[in-house]
Amino acid sequence: MKKSLLTFLIGLLFMTQNIFAQERTISGTVTSSEDNLTLPGVAVQVKSSGQGTQTNADGKFTLRVKANDVLVISYLGYVSQEIVINNQVSINISLKQDNKALSEVVVTALGVKQNKRSLGYSVQEISSQDLTSTNQANPLNALKGKLVGVQITGSGGAAGAGTRVQVRGINSLSPSADNQPLFVIDGIPVSNATDNFGADNFQTPNRMADINPDDIESMTILKGPAASVLYGLRAANGAIVITTKSGKSGRTEISYRTSYSFDDVANTPPIQTKYGNGNNGALASTVNTWGPPIAEGTPVYNPYDLFFKTGHQLQNSLTLSGGNDKANYYTSFSNFDQTGVTPNSEYGRTSVKMAGTYRASNKLKFDASANYINSGGTNPRTGISSGAIFYLMRHTNTVNPADYLNPDGSQKVFNSAIDNPFYFAENSFLTDKVNRIIGNTGIDYSPNSWLNFNYKVGVDHYSDFRKSYNEVGLLISRLGSMSEQRIGYSEVNSNFLARATKQINKDLSATFLLGHSFTAIKRSSLNTSGSQAVVPGLESINNYVVYNSSSSNPQRNIIGVFGDLKLAYKNYLFLDLTARNDWSSTLPKDNRSFFYPSASLAFVFTDALKMSDNSFLSFGKLRASYAEVGKDADPYQIGIYYSTLQAFNGVSGINRNITFGSEGLRPERTKGLEFGTELRFFKDKITLDANYAITNSVDQIVPVPVSYASGFDLYVTNAGEIRNNSLELLVSANLVATKDFKWSLNANWSRTRGRVLSMPEGVNEITFNPESPWNKQIIKTGGRPGDWYGWPYMRVKDDPTGENNGKLLIGANGFPIVPQPLSENYLIGNAFPDWIGGLGSSFSYKNFDFSFLFNFRKGGFVNDISKWQRYITGIGAETDIRNTVVVFNGVKNVGTVTAPQYVTNDTQVTIDQNFYNNAFQYRLAPENNGFQDGSWIRLQNVSLGYRLPKSVLPNSGFVKSASLSVTANNLWVTTPFVGFDPESSTYGAASNAVGYVGTGIPTTRNIYLGLNVTF
């Protein structure tokens, strides 16, 4: 017995020793194969048990393993590896970048990179190639037709004209509110302001036009509150996060890109060429074209063909980048020159950017970036009642508008009611010159593998010097006038982030982020205007008899603290909880602090149900989110403010503003609920992304009209609620992928419906812009933002038989009836489209690349403000039926008002000048006054490229690659709209009054020849 026990104990000892001999500690280092830099935070796990660790700040790890264990090495954006331990005690692992995985990594709020599968909300990313392939100088124009749920609207075809971005509808009732998203470059917010000048009479640039598209690596569009809540109150309308290019370790790379364009106005209003100058069929020297038929041999002129010319754009961009394992750098220089399609229209931009990163150690990294931009140009005035386009449309067809100068240089005037459009464009204009600096610097410190601290401070500063000039003799200012405006803008942002990532156990990981942000915005505006010129033709503010000046210096400070907790379970269930509190200086002291949370959930059900190998559905995810975000007021909206008055007869004064604000003003609050799914089919060849979002904006900050007896005009308070419902579909497909041929397809469709749920107490309606002319946008309870109101022709509603209801009601004089009284407005349509979409495809065959993109808009009415001028003057093609006897298709009431009896109209009437000039017969009704369907199908972009084979490049290897391209933008459009282009905005990129068109320089068609070379 003792001998057996001794034998057992000895055997147990040897077995224990053998077991402990099998377990040992292994160490290693993980690097990137791209640049041999160590990778911190790489997951190292034992495949069988899930036990694991992460690499530290130096890319190193240690782990207890057994000889037969298999290690799984995984890192975001890299190809995972499995390594059998065997007898190794130290291993070095080099991970390769995974291009497919990289396409799944997106930059989200605060510049944090995340795998798209973990997101519980909708985001969309646009690559550098998507931006530069269109050759658009303004990067926002390159987004047209590519984004789901986002409407991109250009303000026209003027050189440097601005562009408006709107995400999921209007969120504010106030006509002056900012409904555009926040723009963020490399983690720092920047300005995208469009500073209008002179009641929107010029197509001024938006500030994102200052950014060189060649500097952009990617754009991520955060559409819902859950996606952008960590940016705080400034991201209540969403955020567009821009990541710029940086250098990479290895050989220095030099890239050069150049393009030259031919621009023209594709669509102009049709004109009639049968009748010439005069009135009521008689020849007369008048602005009208209601004269007799044009005699044979008389020259006939199309004013549009003569006025619009071929414009050009020349772009040159040079970039230099490189680095090593310690530092990398990126430098770019770009120049853009544009000559517009009208006289006296030009724009230019020069940009210089330098950026770099220095890795002091594997734990400590510094980065910095500086971008200087000089931009500006000249454009003619394009006003509603006096402007180059306005006068162009009133010009007769028998007088050559291009013959506009007398021998002494003065204007030739064929009629004193208008100025010559050529002369006006050259002598009534705006010039602007912008100097801008965007810079940031930051420090990143990782004391260990799971903890990271990041601090970044950035500045956006620009000055804009503007000069508006009107020569002596113009109708707009007979004695001459001039204005100067100096705009200053300075924004400083400071962000601190602390981020911890831990693998809690085999199945659960967590990431926790704490942060603090500070924003200080200072803006200044100094305006000086002069009238009554002393010396004609002298463009100097000192050349005037009468002067007026004004200035403003609004400021805003915002402090925010925030937290974000992300939990991942088995890499298929993801929960994200955020919270933020902001303090705004523009709100009353008691209401400056406001808190808003968010929660989102993502569930990859194909992984949970082990369906990843399914040949039909290879990936499936469900997502849901809820979030709230605030929005503060503009500066100086609280209480009563005073301003000084200009001295009169040596006596100065103080003026009390007629607008005052509530002392209890609260922040607006936007609440968003979002549901979506992402499905991939046939081994990820086809992807479907669907999303439904509901957004409620409450406690609207709006100016409410008050009784004049109070001594005020408007009272700024909280009231009103808007709800937007958005449905979004996005499809992408990689249909063919062989060695020589690749074919991909993408499509998007979205629909947003806004509804006004409540209005301020005592306010029945808010007018976004006055009728211009007759149609106007009014917001009412139960209505929608963008609702058009006017006076449509009356139609039968009370036919006892029901047979004639809906038919046009004809008066005793034989003409349609306009409703009375005109003090009552009638809903006639909405300015926003029923839906928008895009369809694009790209092909690659050997060295050839071809792509196209169609842009769709269904529904949405636009008001062509200038159309009424075309038929008053008789130049429009719609007046070609003059002197024709017609019978209007409708019915007339031969009974009484109380006992109507309708019969078919048989009264003959003559269509003549009086008909077109009579507001109550023709001009007043939206059926005739320019109110039109704004639908379109547009070939937004088409591109053909050829990559030169290496056999034709120099043998020295100095030239790495070269390509040639031909690209066209806005090449073709079909639309029921008659006029210029229904896309252009009369009131500019900064206005919430969408749908007004017709008086600005129209959208252009562009064809580019391009060359790209990499050294």
pLDDT above 90 (res 7): no
Spell out the residues 6+ positions from residue 133 whose beta carbon is closer than 8 angstroms to its own: 142, 851, 941, 943, 965, 967
What are the structure tokens assigned to 70, written together? 């298999």
From the CB of residue 135, how many other CB atoms can be counted at a distance below 10 Å? 26
More reliable by pLDDT, 104 or 515: 515
Report d(CA 273, CA 291) in Å as an integer.
11
What gap in Å lies between CA 658 and CA 640, rounded to an integer?
8
Residue among 161, 187, 165 at smallest CA distance from 178: 165
- In angstroms, how far apart are the furthest CA atoms of the chain? 138
pLDDT single digits (tens) 97-115: 765 555 577 877 777 788 8
Most confident of the ranges 25-39, 70-84, 302-316, 920-934:
302-316
20-95 fold: Immunoglobulin-like (2.60.40)
* pLDDT single digits (tens) 984-1007: 887 777 777 788 888 889 999 999
Residue pLDDT, tens place only, 341-375: 999 999 999 999 999 999 998 899 999 999 999 99
Q: Given pLDDT bands bounded at 50, 70 and 90, which one contains residue 20?
A: very low
Contact yes or no for 379/294 (Cβ under 8 A): no
Structural contact between residues 587 and 665, judged by C-beta atoms closer than 8 angstroms: yes
Cα 466 to Cα 194: distance, rounded to the nearest angstrom: 13
Asked if 268 contacts 352 with a C-beta cutoff of 8 angstroms, the reply is no
Residue 658 confidence (pLDDT): 85
Omega of the bond prior to 773 within 30 degrees of 0, cis? Answer: yes
Instruction: Write down the H helix ranges in 556-690.
Output: 605-608
What pLDDT score was predicted for residue 14?
A: 45
Q: Percentage of residues in the chain with pLDDT exceeding 90?
A: 55
Task: Report the topology of domain 118-247+308-387+428-454+487-649+670-786+831-860+939-1014.
Answer: Maltoporin; Chain A (2.40.170)
Checking if the pLDDT of 41 tops 90, the result is: no
* For residues 3-29, average pLDDT: 57
Half-sphere exposure of 404 (CA within 13 A, CB side): 20
- Measured distance CA(622)–CA(726) in Å, rounded: 17
pLDDT band at 199 (very low <50, low <70, confident <90, very high): low
Residue 833's alpha-carbon distances to 171, 787, 792, 859, 935, in angstroms, are: 16, 11, 20, 5, 8
Under a CB-based contact definition with an 8 Å cutoff, are residues 861 and 831 in contact?
A: yes
Strands (E), 122-162: 123-127, 150-154
Residues 310 and 97: their CA atoms lie apart, in Å, by 47
Looking up tokens 């971005």 gives: 165
Residue boundaries of the structural domains of the chain: 20-95, 118-247+308-387+428-454+487-649+670-786+831-860+939-1014, 807-827+863-933
Helices (H), 417-561: 421-427
* pLDDT 10s digits, 216-266: 999 999 988 888 788 888 888 889 999 999 888 777 899 999 999 999 998
Residues 394-414 have a mean pLDDT of 90
**Is the model's pLDDT at 689 over the cut of 80?**
yes
**Of the candidate ranges 268-277, 398-407, 712-721, the one whose mean pLDDT is the lowest:** 712-721
CA 658 – CA 715 distance, rounded (Å): 9
Q: Which of 131-135, 169-173, 942-946 has the lowest mean pLDDT?
A: 169-173
Instruction: Report how far residue 346's alpha carbon sits from residue 336's, in angstroms, rounded to the nearest whole number.
Output: 11
- Which tens digit of pLDDT belongs to each residue from 755-781? 999 888 778 888 776 655 578 888 889
Percentage of residues of the chain with pLDDT beyond 70? 95
User: pLDDT per residue over 795-834, tens digit each?
Assistant: 999 888 888 999 999 999 999 988 877 778 889 999 999 9
- Tell me the per-residue pLDDT of 874-919, one tens digit each, with 9 for 90 and over: 999 989 889 899 999 999 999 998 889 999 999 999 999 988 888 7
pLDDT at residue 62 in the model: 84
pLDDT at position 159 is: 92
- Mean pLDDT value of segment 379-401: 88
CA 579 to chain CA centroid, nearest Å: 27
Cβ atoms of 705 and 711 within 8 Å: the answer is no
- Its pTM stands at 0.87
Higher-confidence position of 55 and 148: 148
pLDDT at 646: 67
pLDDT at residue 19 in the model? 44
To which residue do tokens 């207890």 refer? 64
The answer to which of 20-29, 177-186, 200-209, 983-992 has the lowest mean pLDDT is: 20-29
Torsion of CA 267, 271, 273, 277, to 10 degrees: -130
Q: For all residues of the chain together, what is the average pLDDT?
A: 88
Give residue 15's pLDDT band: very low, low, confident or very high (50, 70, 90): very low
Bridge-based pairing of strands 902-904 and 909-911 is unpaired
**Both tokens of residue 587?**
């709100």
**pLDDT at 321 > cutoff 60:** yes
pLDDT category of residue 13 using cuts at 50, 70 and 90: very low
* Average pLDDT value for residue range 974-986: 89
